[in-house]
Structure 1
C-alpha cells in the first residue's frame, strides 16, 4: 500500500536548503537530494524525511530517531556518512547528511558474478575500517547489509543508516550485551536471535557476509539457522565447502571467511586480527596509504564492467523459456506500506544547464530537476537522442563490445565525459542504475512492459486481465504529468517480497525518448537487479541501444 507524498503533510522548509528530487523510498519516508547554500558556498547533500505517524505505526518513536541522529553525529570517519543536521516538526523528522554521490555499492554488483577480487578487497577493507572506528566509539551498527553501503564521488565506501545502532560500550570501557534481534536475515549472525549477544562479533560476521556477496554475487544462505540447508551444510563441514559458489572465491579470501563465519562468537577473528590477515593487509591497486581511493575513474570502470545486459537471442530465449523463480504473492497479501513521491521537484541544479559541446542553453536535456525545456533542432532526432541518453551512466550497461577487455576500454573512454556530467548533476549518479531508455511509441512500450511483468509473475496492478483499459489510464497520466507509474509486486525464489515501481518519464518534450526507471521499495538488492535484467531482456525490442 502506497501513500502519496502530495497527500501527506507538506515537507518542512529547511534553512539554507533547496530540496530536489527523490533518490530513495522507505517504509515511512523518502530520501531527497538537495543543495545546501550558505555564505556563497553550495554543496549537494541528501535529506531523509521520516513521516512521524507512519513511523509510529511501525513502533519507531521520536526518541529512537533522535538517538539515531546523536549516534551518527558522533561517528565521524572518512568511511561513514556524515550527518550535517537534524530536526523535526509536528509531522516530519529530517536528517541532512552527506550524499553518496555514486549510489549504493550493491547497485553495481552483478548477480551470480560479483566484482573483481581487487574491488572486493578494497571495499571490504574500507568497511572494516568504518566498523572498527564506530566500535572504538562504543557503537555497534547491527544492520550491516548492501542497502546501507553507498559510494561517494571519489569512489570510497560510506556506511550509512544508524537506525538500529546501539551504544554497547561506555567511555570507561564497560560493555553491555544486546537483547534486540535485528538486521536482515541473510546478513545477521546466528547468535542475534538468542536472548543476549555481543554486537561486536555479530557486526564482524555481517561484514564477511557482505564480502561473500561481493565476490560471488550471491547470498551465502537465506538465514543462519540449522533449518536453512545451505547454512547447515556449511556448518556440518566446518566451512570446508567446495561447491559453487564457494569454489569461486580466491583462496586468501576463503581463508578469512572460514575464520570469521564460525558459530561461536569468541572463536571469530577480531577486527584487529582481520586487518592483519594477509588477504586484507596486502597492497591494493586502488588504495592510497590511507586506504582511500587514489584513482576513482579506474575503480568505477572496474566496478561497472561486469554490469552488462545481454539482449541476445540466447538470453531472450533463456528468460522466456525458464520456469519463473518469481512467484505471485498469495491471494489477499498486501504489499508493505511505503511513501511514493508523486510531487514535482524544484529546479535546483541551475549549473547543470550551462552550454556544452556546442549546444545552446535552449538545448538542455529534460531532467526531473528542471522544468520541461524544448531541445533545439540543430541536430537530427537520432543525434539528439544519443546526446541525451549518453549523459546517463545507466547507458553503459548496454554497451556491447564483443569482449570484457574491449568493454572495459569502451567504458573507460566514456568515463571522462560522465565525470563532467556528474559535477553538474550529482543526484543523477546517486540514483540506481536499474533503468533503460526507449524511443518507441508509448502504447507499444507500456504493453511490452506489462507483458513482461505478467510472464514473470510480477503484475502489481489491479485489473491485470484488462490491460487495454489499464494502458489507456496510464496514457492519461502521461498527458497530465509526463510520468507513468506501474507497480511491481511478487516474490523471489526464497518467497521474500519484491515490491517496487516502474516509472516511465519523458526525457525531452520534442523527442520521442523515455526513461524507464525501476524503483525498489522492498527487495533484496541482488534480487531486484535480477528482476530489472529479466524484464529488460523481455522488453529488448523497445530498449534503446547505442548503435
Structure 2
C-alpha cells in the first residue's frame, strides 16, 4: 500500500503493517467513524485473477459472513478498487497463539481454556456447514483480552462442496496437522478431519511440539497414518484418554465434537449453560470487491493440477518413489514460472516438447538411433505459493534418464527449486520433502 495513503476509502486510518502473504498484505487501522481498531487485508486483484483464485477468495469471504461467533475472527466489510480488494476484519491484537507456544509449552489449565474455545468455534462452523481444513496454532489468534479467534478460512469448504457420497475429496491442509484419511487421498468427512487437527493442536499446546514430528516428511506421514505418538510424562491420564479418542486413525471411531464436549477433562471450568450471543449472518455472496475482475486483460497462465503432495506421495503404500523412474522437487514459484523454466531448459537441450496445461512431455532421440528417451513432467499445487513437480521416465533407458536429470536438468532448475525429494531445506522449519 502506498505509504502516503494514510486514510483508506475516507473511512479507515491505516496505521501499521502486520504481515504479508502470497499476494496480500495486512495492516492495522482505525475506523474513523467508530474509533474501532480493525485489520485490513489488502489483496492484489491482478494476482488473484492470474492465479485463478477468484472463486477461492469469494468462497472465503462468503464463509466469513456465515460465521459470526465470539471465537471466530469477524468480517466487517469488503471494499474494492480497480486494483485492490480490501477485507476489513476484527483485529486480534494478541497475535498468533503459535507465538505463545514458541516461548514454551502451556500449562494444562491454560491449554484447556484455549482448547475449549477452539472446540466451541469448530462446533459452530460445522453446524453452519463449514469445514476449516487448515486448523493449526498459526491460524488461531488472540484478542487483547486473550480470547481465542479462529482465522484464515482460505482452504475451507462448504457443505455443498460434498459430492454425491456426502464426503469431501480435495486433499489440503498443513503437514503435521492433517488427518490420515486426507494424506491417503481418500474421500473424507470434513468435520472429522477438523477434529483430528484439534487433537494435534491440544497436544502441541501442552507438549510444545508436534505429536508426529519427523524431519523426513514421508516418515511423518507414516506416523500420522498409524497414529504413532508418545505423550510426555506430564500429560494426565484424562488428557491421554481424550487424545486417544481424537487421534484415532479410523475416522469412523474418532470422537465427535459432542463427545469431546461431554468429556470430563474438557468440562472442567466450561460453562455449557452460558449462551453466547451469535448474530444471524447476512446470506450474501462473496462478490464484493470483484466488480472489475472479469474486465482484467486475459493473460496466458498455467494452473497447476488440483492435487496435493499427499496424493503424489501416497501412490504406493510405502510412500516411496522409484528413483530410477521418477524424481520430485518442490518450488515456491508459480506454475507459470516453473513451466516457462522447463521449456527454456528443453530448448537448450534440444528436446521436443509436447505441452498441455500443467503437464508436458520431453522427448530426445538418443545418439541418432530410433530409440528415444521420454520424460513426463507435471506440476501439482497444494498451496497457492507451493508446488510439487514430478518428473518421471515414460520411455527409454533408466540410466539415460538419471544422467540427464542429474547432469543437465537439475543444475538448470536451481533458480526455481525449493528442495528436491529426500533433501532438507535450510529454512527454520527443518522440513524434508
- The RMSD of aligned alpha carbons is 3.7
Alpha carbons of structure 1 residues 33 and 22: separation in structure 2 relative to 1, 3 Å: same
Aligned partner of 2:85 among 93, 99, 104: 93
2:48 to 52, 55, 78: 55
Q: Render the CA deviation track for 1:497-546: whole Å, top value 9, x for unaligned.
A: 73xxxxxxxxxxxxxxxxxxxxxxxx65xx89xxxxxxxxxxxxxxxxxx
Match of residue 13, structure 1, among 3, 8, 33: 8
2:99 to 71, 94, 107: 107
CA displacement at 1:266 relative to structure 2: 1.0
SS at match of 1:19: strand
Q: Could you tell me which runs of 5 or more consecutive residues in structure 2 were left unpaired when the two chains were aligned.
A: 277-328, 335-417
2:167 aligned with 1:177:
yes
Higher strand share: 2
**Residue from 136, 141, 147 that aligns with 1:150:** 141
The answer to whether the 8 A contact 1:36-1:43 is kept is yes
What TM-score, normalized by structure 2, do the two folds share? 0.59
Task: Structure 1: give runs of 5+ residues left out of the alignment.
Answer: 293-331, 338-488, 499-522, 529-547
For the 8 Å contact 1:201–1:270, the answer to whether it is kept is: yes
Shift of 1:70: 1.2
Alignment CA distance shift 1:233-1:33 (3 Å): closer
Deviations 1:334-383 (A, max 9, x none): 8668xxxxxxxxxxxxxxxxxxxxxxxxxxxxxxxxxxxxxxxxxxxxxx
Other structure's SS at 1:49 match:
strand
- Matching of residue 187 in structure 1 with residue 177 in structure 2: yes
From 74, 97, 101, the equivalent of 2:66 is 74
Residue 131 to residue 15, structure 1, CA distance change in 2 (3 Å):
farther
Q: CA deviation at 1:191?
A: 1.1
Aligned CA distance change for structure 1 residues 490 and 191 (closer, same or farther; 3 Å):
closer
Higher helix share: 1
Partner Cα distance (2:124, 2:22) in 1: 29
Deviations 1:83-116 (A, max 9, x none): 00012223212210100011111111136x4111
The answer to whether residue 20 in structure 2 is matched with residue 25 in structure 1 is yes
1:82, distance to aligned residue in structure 2 (A): 0.6
Conservation of the 8 A alpha-carbon contact between 1:104 and 1:146:
yes
Equivalent position of 2:38 in the other structure: 45
Q: 1:64 aligns with which of 46, 50, 56?
A: 56
Distance 1:497 1:289 in 2: 50
CA distance in 2, matches of 1:268, 1:226: 24
Deviation of the 1:251 alpha carbon: 2.0
Q: Specify whether residues 223 and 262 from structure 1 end up closer, same or farther in structure 2 by C-alpha distance, changes over 3 A only.
A: farther
Count of equivalent residues: 292
Q: CA deviation at 1:259?
A: 0.8
Supply the distance in 1 between the matched residues of 2:155 and 2:7 (Cα, whole angstroms).
25
Change (3 A) 1:175 1:70: farther
Distance 1:124 1:224, change over 3 A: farther
Q: 1:235 to 1:203 in 2, by over 3 A?
A: closer
Q: Determine if the alignment matches structure 1 residue 135 to structure 2 residue 64.
A: no
Q: Compare relative contact order (CA 8 Å, sep 6+) and give the higher one, 1 or 2.
A: 1
**Residue of structure 1 equivalent to 2:254:** 268
In 2: Cα distance, 1:31 partner to 1:223 partner: 32
Distance in 2, matches of 1:291 and 1:225, equals 45
